[in-house]
Structure 1
Amino acid sequence: MQLIKAALISSTVFMVMVLPAHAAESSKKTGYGDNPNIFEVLGQKTLDTAQDAANAVDRTTQEGIAKVRPKVAETWQGTKTYSEEQAEIAKENSQKAAATVNKKWHEAKASVLGDPNSPPAPIESRPLSQPNNAPAQNGQL
């Protein structure tokens, strides 16, 4: 793509430099005349050749752009679609992660502070003179 841009810019610059000289030269003479100077003939032929080359470069550049444009548009559309899909996946994953973090937070809070829905732990009282070697009854001390 950069090669096409460089060719287009260089051909444009070349044409901008050559066209005023060509217009000034062609306004002086329409042909070579009866006895033309060899340098005028060579200059005119060089100018014509350069103009033809610039036109060929321009035509080739336009054809190349016409061939590349649909592929670039298709690639761009594919990139946009892929980006949208990845954004949707990332959004879903972040929502799942947020739900997991929230669940873990509530579990940790319940384990530290206790579950408000469960009954409080039973408090057992015994006289101090009684030994503490009695087996626990019903899971209580």
Structure 2
Amino acid sequence: MSLLESMFFGLWVVMTVAFVILEVHTQAFYAVFVAVGAAAAAITALAGGPLWLQGVLFAVLAIGGSTLIRPTLRARFDSAVPVARFRGIQGSADGLVGQPAITLDTVGDEHHPGHALFANDRWLAVTDRAEPLPADIPVVVVAVRGTTLLVRPQ
């Protein structure tokens, strides 16, 4: 293997590792296809394949995977994640207001908080009602205070 071929092999390996790490952190199903393309190019370089073939394999796998395979993978991933049912919730706390929840234990005022099940997660919850809310009743989120939900009975 010549120096130039060794440099390209090293480049493909570094790209593979970098894009695998990026995919692990983003989980967007884009970087994985770049990593697969770079890995295929590295294998081709190791086998002594020409540089043009390495580039073509890289481009076809990266672009083809992103456009042809990614939509199916993304749809499967989204349907497998329980929180995907709450796609209507916006990214900000304002998107939580108006959403349903269920009390898990007695929910009182700020000095006697309880918990509510919201989007399949246990949240700290309080109410502004004079009487505490008992466990296992449906409530609606009326405000968000930090990481605490202000809830009222439905």
TM-score normalised to the size of structure 1? 0.28
Greater percentage in helix: 1
Which structure has more relative contact order (CA 8 Å, sep 6+)? It is: 1
